[in-house]
Structure 1
């Protein structure tokens, strides 16, 4: 069990639950009972397998690396019916860990990553998600973290908490029956690609992802479980090794690994498990390798960028099929001045804008002044002496943050209001990006 200092009980409102927060970590080499029962509740919520003690320990070993903190909502002053789970099992779950977000210009912004959000069906519509989210975001803001993030299993839940869609991921299928032909063959032939055991990917993952993360606008930090999932060694759905996961490594001209792909053959196609490339040449060379696999008619990937160099490198562009595009990373600004000052800007200029936030974390009237691509953001008085030129909610500002959508589009959608002529155009000039944000991490 965690100590009093490590475990916090919060009662955000008068309802028959208490929220307990504690670290997911081993105590004397074993999984504490409260952590094991919390895990069972998460597995129930995501329809996963019942967590055995052995699997629970593997989960906690990874989560301890991440410094994961977990919250459960527990019934208080009541008893469970005979035969039902006891009150020591949470009826709702929530967790977070903290990593960084690449906001461009070499800046990795601290970010509060939310995950494992569930509410037991028999306890829905009782304010549990609201209580957990309000309390958690308030603590993150108090701790000085400027941004929260999540990847959502459902698209309609988190907007009301101020989250906005900030990146998209694409499902693609690339026809490869006759191999991939490139407009500039030399661009896809730099370096060397060699087959490797999938286990090698697990050992290479952290260092290689750090390189990819540092160069990829919109990338967010990965949790420790990714080492296992990328190499087919297990994930939160199952810790059984995935059969027939293969891997290939890309070596640069100096013989150093700067990319890998792990993949799984299925019928006449291959499904990419994970693909990390620290250079453009590694990315194209790995695709060149995938296109050369015998008896394979297509290569499928569910994490392709919206703007993909591969599509423009292929001679037969129509062989690249984007089969689905889905919201992926959701951001939630907690500290408006800190978040906006952290990123780079395409042009200089200034603007006064109002942000509405029902939770109060990011709200206010702000002045942004950009000089040489760097912003100074100042909170303005709200006594009527300053009039905003543009008004929006925190969800809208969070979606605009990485340039995934334009202010003009949100204005046309009725989601922001232009208070002064030309304000939308000036905002878009400031926030425009030359590259499309891409996130390779789900959590």
Structure 2
């Protein structure tokens, strides 16, 4: 097969994106969605594969900063818009794009690459590990009651048009980012994503709504949501569809959740994506009536191993020699001594004997602290060479809160 893999030219965007839509089922996106993604696409960081004058492969990389344990923001390539034409599957198109992309990310000096996967099975072979998980829930508000902490009644709630509340919501979101690994610091333009609300995809629900939680006139929490009214012979059984929410303290957090669970004529709150340790689980009277489910979230790939390991801090002191295998990015392969604590870390090549052995995929899974090295070892994916090294490193790599990706890209 003779194909041309090259950086995307702005004039080619429509055909390039059209190939992506075709690969994801052929349903054209709403005009508002398409315009937003065109505005956010960084053509100079995107590639396409062309067979003659036909685009048969796409891959992009957003410029992100990702929060990591310790509160730092680390440059990361947000891998996105990956597709291969059905006529060109099993011909090496995806591998060639992944190869080019990771070479570019390393050259750009970005220690990490991250993505969300349409099919989780795809990206492990390129060194990506599942680093965050997300919780879905459906709260039966007819049967579930909330117990709220002191101070909740002091929080004022106000309905505001989402576009008018955007700046306040973004300010709350920005303050939350350093406190939880896996969150993305939103660059200019990305504030439009939470407001995206094409009428054609509402499925009978209302337009997007926003409630602001305020204390002394300052926004301390928010929720973006819609409502879908429904009726049965027994009465109303509508659904609140939560899109995004955030709060700066327990009282504001509880006030927002109490509001969502108390909207008239609604009997269910649908929660599509929250951290697995989200605190509302401790406010509800009956968690069994909340239909909890967990799935993979952010897939993370360590691109520059020493830079990545030095960019985060560690929950406990650690001094361990890691032997890492990375066939796709061979510059990471070898033995590395990691020494770190809550103040910082160093990581450098060493000839000392290995104390733990693992692949770069497992290192990516453990990097944000949501997957323990001990758990991976239990699956045979991490091997302890020096007795005690596993417990030491597993504790050090942990995080006080579960890492979480609040939105896709």
Using the size of structure 2 for normalisation, the TM-score is 0.90
Matches within 5 A, 1:257-296: 257-266=219-228, 267=230, 268-296=238-266
- 1:354 positional shift: 0.3
2:168 counterpart of 1:168: no
2:105 counterpart of 1:135: no
2:172 counterpart of 1:208: yes
Q: Find the partner of 2:156 among 184, 192, 208.
A: 192
Q: Secondary structure at the match of 1:370?
A: strand
2:8 counterpart of 1:22: yes
Equivalent residue, structure 1, for 2:344: 374
Equivalent residue, structure 1, for 2:233: none
- 1:186 positional shift: 2.3
Q: Secondary structure at the match of 1:105?
A: coil
- Paired with 2:218 and 2:59, the residues of 1 have a C-alpha distance of 40
| Matched-pair contact (CA < 8 Å) for 1:234–1:242 | no
2:246 counterpart of 1:306: no
- Paired with 1:377 and 1:205, the residues of 2 have a C-alpha distance of 38
Distance change (3 Å), C-alpha of 1:130 and 1:187:
farther
- Paired with 2:252 and 2:303, the residues of 1 have a C-alpha distance of 36
Stretches of structure 1 lacking an aligned partner (at least 5 in a row): 1-14, 25-31, 77-86
Equivalent residue, structure 2, for 1:117: 82
Which whole-Å deviations, capped at 9, do the CAs of 1:88-131 have from their partners, x for residues lacking one?
x3101101111111113231011011000000111000000000
- 1:302 positional shift: 1.0
Larger relative contact order (CA 8 Å, sep ≥ 6): 2
Equivalent residue, structure 2, for 1:79: none
2:15 counterpart of 1:46: no
Equivalent residue, structure 1, for 2:235: none
Which whole-Å deviations, capped at 9, do the CAs of 1:328-386 have from their partners, x for residues lacking one?
001000111111111121111311110100121422201111245421111114xxxx2
Which range moves more in the overlay, 288-297 or 388-397?
Answer: 288-297
Which whole-Å deviations, capped at 9, do the CAs of 1:411-437 have from their partners, x for residues lacking one?
111112112222211211221222211
| Matched-pair contact (CA < 8 Å) for 2:313–2:342 | no
After superposition, the CA RMSD in angstroms is 2.7
Stretches of structure 2 lacking an aligned partner (at least 5 in a row): 231-237
| Matched-pair contact (CA < 8 Å) for 2:180–2:401 | no
Matches within 5 A, 1:141-160: 141-160=106-125
- Paired with 1:425 and 1:398, the residues of 2 have a C-alpha distance of 18
Equivalent residue, structure 2, for 1:424: 390
Q: Find the partner of 1:63 among 29, 37, 41.
A: 41
- Paired with 2:391 and 2:32, the residues of 1 have a C-alpha distance of 57
Q: Secondary structure at the match of 1:344?
A: coil
The count of aligned residue pairs is 400
2:295 counterpart of 1:335: no
